[in-house]
Homo-oligomer: A and B are copies of this chain.
Amino acid sequence: MAQQWILIDSPQSHVAETPRAWTGEHHGTPLSWQLGTLSGGRSEGVQILRVQSGATEFILVPTRGLGLWQASRDGQPFGWSSPVAGPVHPHWVPIADPSGLGWLEGFDELLVRCGLASNGAPDFDSAGRLTCPLHGRIANSPAHHLSIAVDDQGTLTVTGEVRETRFLIRSLRLRSTLRLRLDADVLELTDEIINDSAQDTTAQMLYHLNLGRPILGPGAELLAPVKELAPRDPRAAEGLARWAQFEGPQAGFAEQVYFMRLHCDDSGTSRAMLRAADRQLGCGVTFDHQALPYFVLWKNTAAEADGYVTGLEPSTNLPNPHSFESRHGRVLPLAAGATARLSLQIHLLVGAAAVDQFATEIASMEREQATSLVHRAPPANWSA
């Protein structure tokens, strides 16, 4: 059944005649995809790619930097309910707003990439002019290439490319591959950041994995093999004793952010999980520790109406302004023509067995590692 489709390959002078949907099966497991275009309000013109393989389903948004909008497993939704009500076409997201905060008008994905040249808080030049918008530009850049392949084992692979180019300044490219094995509960993401320029540059990447109901709720927990942890600021320090526990929605809850380094296993893999209170549901993330040495927990347990959500964020750096991170060496050097490879897997854990197994893996990593350093206040080189 091996097949391949090219869905976007820009610029095209005509709308592709390629099938916009396909349905198949592999040994009785259904497998399908559909490429659609939304209409109405801020979603007008947004292309979405929906993929289903057995009990797993996910939606990618090529128009929004190939972000992962939503996923589900056995009918259980993974994602959150953002007041933004997207997916929002980047044309409506004012990322060049002088405040640097326009990005917040488009934020509603399960997984949004923050990069490529920069991520983190907005940065400004000495005249107060925005240089790096909040969380960078890639999530509001369109894919110029999108293709899908299905192999003989029923593994589905989506490959896409997104550019972040400003003439004379930078020429970065994201090449992303998302693989879903037949009916598996793991979305396997491999990203390459390519420096298309003949000059050296740097990059940053943070994977903003956002979870709300039903996993998040009072009694939900963050499990992670912490090596070192610090609150980002005094507000986060207030909640330090219970940094890994979650409360219910609280109107006006001001976000608490924790910066961490995690342990990794012998293969160099780190992992973390948000586990529901009843331990029947969890979302795990595993990732290459060397490429993504930092892990950020964003607790935003505000009212449902304002986005009751937490973010699990493997990252190349800490989400401070780019100039601060650069000063502390937390940027990814990319030589002329070089490629950095980042890999991350999202585990859609449904049922006690799957949840417990993932928790056991984290616990065994914690046992094997002696140290766990918790700072009462942010180290000077960690927080801007």
Interface positions of A (Cβ within 8 A of B): 8-16, 36, 38-46, 48, 82-87, 90-92, 94-99, 101-102, 104-105, 107-108, 124-125, 127-131, 141-145, 163, 165-169, 171, 196-199, 249, 251-252, 255, 302-307, 336-337
Residues of B within 8 A of A46 (CB): 11
Q: Which of B9, B39, B99 contacts A129 (CB 8 A)?
A: B99
A10 touches B165 (CB 8 A): no
In the bound complex, how far is the Cα of B219 from the Cα of A286, in angstroms?
55
Q: What's the minimum C-beta distance from A176 to chain B, rounded to whole angstroms?
A: 14
B104 touches A168 (CB 8 A): yes
Q: What's the minimum C-beta distance from A277 to chain B, rounded to whole angstroms?
A: 22
Query: Can you give 28 A-B contacts (C-beta < 8 A)?
Result: A10-B39, A10-B42, A11-B46, A12-B38, A13-B36, A13-B38, A13-B48, A15-B39, A41-B142, A42-B142, A42-B163, A43-B144, A44-B45, A83-B196, A84-B165, A85-B144, A92-B142, A94-B95, A96-B96, A96-B97, A96-B98, A98-B130, A105-B166, A168-B306, A171-B305, A198-B303, A303-B336, A305-B337
A105 touches B167 (CB 8 A): yes
Residues of B within 8 A of A305 (CB): 171, 196-198, 336-337
In the bound complex, how far is the Cα of B169 from the Cα of A39, in angstroms?
26
* Shortest Cβ distance from A163 into B: residue: B85
Interchain residue pairs A-B with the least CB separation, the first 4 = A10-B40, A41-B144, A198-B303, A10-B41
A11 touches B82 (CB 8 A): no
13 more A-B residue pairs beyond the given contacts A82-B167, A99-B125, A104-B169, with a C-beta to C-beta distance below 8 A: A11-B41, A11-B87, A41-B145, A43-B144, A84-B165, A96-B98, A98-B129, A99-B129, A107-B167, A129-B130, A168-B255, A171-B305, A199-B303
